Structure 1
């Protein structure tokens, strides 16, 4: 584990979160700043204006930034270098001179650090966003670069939209009302904490690579620019009754780089995009800061049955093949079987265990004869310490600071070694493994626990950061997998976009040893809504495969609808050989099959909820409060446009009491009908519509011809 101070800094590579305390005024309030001496005149630095609706970013002659949005102005934002020895260098305290462009400055410190800061509008941006770019030269170890504001006061209706570190992490909107959150609040990855690295443990005040700070008609959306070589984050901390924003790139201990002096010396550079926040459009900055281009052509998500949510580690060839006939009877369009964890001898020993009952090649051939394709689960970067790979190739494993193989607790109570993706032979091993499995007939790979490759560790090549190693590993897998569909899970989301075809966007919907619970459905809907804007560059959002067992009929319908709203990544999680007649009937209901088959893209949430607390995990919420939603309320109203052109509104009641849910004007036509229960639809004078929805239930409204 890193020293205490570095552990405290690790969450800084996330996104925005700020809170206010007590009754606060809503007029713009500037933070007090001390202007450092400078030899740059005001005329030497041009202000940069963005959107004409009151959003503006200005770089002052004192090298400090000012961000203005409706009702709030934040002044005195400094660029700070964090060095490997723990010291800091603020740009405003350096000797300043004009930069290469009218909107840039250059700072030079007495000990040889040179920093260039450029704040420029983005050409062609609909929101007229601003890019804040920096370049650092110097002699010594540089850990990271940070934008840091003095304490500020925000409107009382402020909230933050946070994007978690990886697939299972909390992603959603949290209010910043007094007492809601504390800086460095309780740690809690969505599934469980891990001792392997703080970066996978999200805090309530942390988001990764992008985030929003919004209030009413104003706010700020911030994104890191690709490529994602270093962890980037935004943190809000509260040293007093006010809050300070800290936006950092480079926060893990293994991200420190050594720069050399001179005009040809190595440099470190990066940039952030600042955009005005937009209501109903999480992470609006993503429009102008997309991830690296995809390396793979589009790949459809095959509809079929997935073993984990019903068989868990007890999957066998016979039990999997038994699903084919009931799957086809239930859904003639389903033609795929995915085998999850339990088929292998050990993590890292990807050979069939004897109890599986056959070979993958034979299973693939048997399924192919029935026009069914085979998918397979692996945790490619994780290696059981007792597996032959760990004992035969210890040089392929990442190490801790003492030089021993790192043991990462990826599953509660189980520790694994992690492949070092800076070792060419380890990458070739993965490439060959996936090529071999593809040749044996596997046409989909669910690759899980991917964040393991990005854990802080000592790697063979110290010049490669954890995220660069992560991307190297994914590239090797993608090369070996060829034209197979790649489903990423437990993934650091944005750096994986070039290499996967679909990606899990939330936690599991059910867990071994515990019955399904409503909180997991609500959490999945919240993450699906929040990440809809984060995963849209040719990557399908996978909310996990729903089940009906353990739910009331209303809850089961809601779970199916939630999964269908992903718009193309639907699968079955139940044991289809054990469905009751009533459960089979729910799967066949006409409203659901029309929604499942008709959506060609993700539905649009219209009322993203704002939570008042941070949920440690859906497991804890489910155990402590069986029927309540986790943290931020998921959207209740979703707009869905079917391939037929039909306009739908899908309504969820996440609460415990009957509720009237209203569809805003412009979503449906003048006449609509409710399809799930033939409920009465009330047409409103303003063109909206409303319907009464029972607790834990879904209703679907369709515009009538």
Structure 2
């Protein structure tokens, strides 16, 4: 052992990171180990053993244990600690922690003199040997997993205590091309990751706070229920770094009371003004007619919004896919005789904001753009255009769509001019879809990472729009889009027009709506997809669909063809409770989100089909919204069977020992001894208002 290494080891055994006021209890304790790893101990939260950093070389992790020396120093009165690994044969590498109560932000760096380096591993842990405190991963019961883009799964999944997994993150290559690496396997998460013990005890929560250069993925290995390894990866296949010091994305780590998605959302808050949620509300064509939209249908639904449904106060009319000649040739087809500018003028004259769908980075193979400009297309290593594949299961089919390389200057001009033209037509809100197309890995005209290219593409869109333009991002990687769009789809499609309308798709969308509710009005205006109430949904299902989308507080957009809804369903939209719930103050909280733990990741496309319209997933059932001495409580039975549930009312309204119940909509729940006792029909909802009981004295 060198003197430097020995000195660091003996000093750091007693090294604490303290609060600014140097309180007696440290926020965090770091202890170095002989093998150049370190242990991290959190107050009342246990210990993480054998932590280290690393870097990616040709897709393989080179860990800190391969180094020769480790030095450490503290800065800013103990609020910052830096560790530095050196070697005679490896590039110098380090990691820095900035600490506050119950949380820290950290990032790693490497002196990239080796052109084979193509990413960083800012956090790598192996399950340690038995020590004085239990390893937090050894006691793990569940993990929080999040998909790569906005249609994907997000929720808690139980560690399988019967099966053993042998996935090795040290050889993992963090791609993320569309659906190829969504979290359909329980060892992978994107942008955020949580771990907790039995009943949610001793939680840890990680999240990426930036995405300037790389995608951030969390790859875990567990055996018979014990989490044995976690690697946080910044990097992608085939994207070598430039020379010089390269820093990872900033990462958030919180424990105990701060280890929640709420705290992460607060740290992720963008500078962009999000606007009022109500300004995005309206009607969208996709979930009723798909690409069969035409001018007559749009105007007929606009008249219904302005007439029978005027009391809802909806603001926008969105023309979704089906208006253009092709993907890539963004000019109107023959179904819009007044032109897209004429249609926008008619929508505006009716008192609504015109909204338009576009997928700017994906082009049809037969489009003029693809045929006339093959040099604009993203290529693979053999020079072939990379196809956009809707799902990995379909990758073997002939490609029908390709991707634009936004590093080509002419492509950026094309994208900018396209949006400038759409704005000139009179459209003011843009649903910008399939954004993942700009973030595929591939061979570009310049050596940038996929995320750097993605950010160039987003900038090209904004360059074509004035500051007041509103954007709803869809099919987008989460963190790289923060601060660019005011709104974001936060879950899977609520319906696929090529299939019958299935309750299982609507119920499935409720999971992400509940779990990602903390992002609403902090990071984005959450877009949970459209409200659907038409048959063949039962009356209970229609009411529950309307209830969960209204209670979510997110963007409220109708998705049925309003001109063919029967009178009873149209009347459901105008019931007084709908507007009351939509406009209720406060942010949604899913009371049981940390206790609804699925056995596996629910495949958001195929599983609803296999369910044959019935819902087999696990998701939050108790939704609470409001502030002050009033709350709205939603009790949802998502499944196909009648369900009994008792909800204690103590402390649901802050400071109240007794609560008054005012039913809002739905049936099956009554109050018994300060508890809500429910016997709910399948796929139904009960909403009620909770108020503090007034004293009779």
The alignment's TM-score, normalised by the length of structure 1, stands at 0.84
Aligned to 2:304: 326
Q: Which residue of 2 aligns with 1:491?
A: 476
CA displacement at 1:695 relative to structure 2: 1.9
**Contact 1:129–1:274 (8 Å) recurs in 2:** yes
For 2:132, the equivalent position in structure 1 comes to none
Query: For 2:419, what is the secondary structure of its paired residue?
Result: helix
For structure 2, which runs of at least 5 residues remain unmatched after alignment?
129-134, 169-174
Contact 2:52 2:125 in 1 (8 A): yes
**Partners of 1:109 and 1:451 in 2: CA distance:** 39
Change (3 A) 1:436 1:232: same
Residue segments in structure 1 that go unaligned for 5+ positions in a row: 1-33, 186-192, 260-264
> 1:273-296 CA deviation, whole Å, 9 max, x = no partner?
2210449943634444x2653377
Match of 1:6 in 2: none
Q: How does 1:396-475 map to 2 (within 5 A)?
A: 396-410=376-390, 415-462=400-447, 464-475=448-459
Give, in angstroms, the shift of residue 321 of structure 1.
0.7
Please point out which of 117, 121, 126 is paired with 1:142: 117
* TM alignment of 1:560-639, pairs within 5 A: 560-596=546-582, 598-600=583-585, 602-608=587-593, 609-615=595-601, 617-631=603-617, 633-639=618-624
Distance 1:132 1:242, change over 3 A: same
Cα contact 1:91–1:115 (8 A) shared by 2: no
2:207 maps to 1:204: no
| Deviation per residue, 1:85-111 (Å, 9 max, x gap) | 746242563223344747323221222
Q: 104, 111, 116: which is aligned to 2:89?
A: 111
Contact 1:683/1:690 (CA < 8 Å) preserved in 2? yes
- Is the Cα–Cα contact under 8 Å of residues 373 and 442 in structure 1 kept in the other structure? yes
Deviates more, 1:575-584 or 1:669-678: 669-678
Q: Does 1:131 align with 2:100?
A: no
In 2, distance between residues paired with 1:156 and 1:54? 23
CA distance in 1, matches of 2:97, 2:353: 51
Change (3 A) 1:367 1:242: closer
Q: Note if contact 2:649-2:659 (Cα within 8 Å) is conserved in structure 1.
A: no
Q: Deviations over 1:413-435 (max 9, x none)?
A: 55322112222321222112111
Structure 2 match to 1:171: 154
Aligned counterpart in structure 2 of residue 246 of structure 1, from 227, 230, 241: 230
Report the CA distance shift for 1:285/1:296 in structure 2 as closer, same or farther (over 3 A): closer
* 1:676 corresponds to: 665
Partner SS, residue 488 of structure 2: strand
C-alpha displacement of 1:646? 4.1
Give the count of matched residue pairs: 649
Residue aligned with 2:532, SS: coil
Aligned to 1:74: 48
Q: Secondary structure at the match of 1:243?
A: strand
Q: Quick one: distance in 1 between partners of 2:612 and 2:479?
A: 32
8 Å Cα contact 1:352/1:358 also seen in 2: no
User: Cα offset for 1:312?
Assistant: 0.4
Deviation per residue, 1:24-72 (Å, 9 max, x gap): xxxxxxxxxx999934333543233689999745241544232345564
Q: Distance in 2 between matches of 1:466 and 1:561?
A: 39
Alignment CA distance shift 1:538-1:611 (3 Å): closer
| TM-score normalised per structure 2 | 0.85
Given that residues 440 and 450 in structure 2 are in contact (C-alpha distance below 8 angstroms), is that contact kept between their aligned partners in structure 1? yes
Q: Which shows bigger deviation, 144-153 or 319-328? A: 144-153
SS at the partner of 2:389? strand
> Aligned partners of 1:292, 1:255: CA distance in 2, in Å?
28
Q: What is the root-mean-square deviation of aligned Cα atoms in Å?
A: 3.2
**In 2, are the aligned partners of 1:183 and 1:205 still within 8 Å (CA)?**
no
Q: What do residues 218-240 of structure 1 show as CA deviations (whole Å, max 9, x unaligned)? A: 12111223244211121211368
CA contact (8 A) 2:119 2:235 kept: yes
Secondary structure at the aligned position of 1:144 is classed as: strand
Q: Cα distance 1:486–1:324, how it changes in 2: closer, same or farther (>3 A)?
A: same
Aligned residue in 1 for 2:330: 350
**Taking structure 1 as reference, are residues 304 and 593 closer, same or farther at Cα in structure 2, changes over 3 Å only?**
same
Q: Which of residues 351, 362, 367 in structure 2 aligns to 1:387?
A: 367
Q: Distance in 1 between matches of 2:292 and 2:70?
A: 65
Matched, 1:219 2:215: no
Secondary structure of 2:558's aligned partner: coil
Match of 2:30 in 1: 58
- Kindly report which structure 2 residues correspond to 1:15-30, keeping only aligned pairs within 5 A, or say none: none
State the shift of 1:481 in Å.
Answer: 2.8
Task: Provide the rounded CA distance (Å) in 1 between the counterparts of 2:504 and 2:358.
Answer: 27
Question: 2 CA distance for matches of 1:168 and 1:579?
Answer: 27
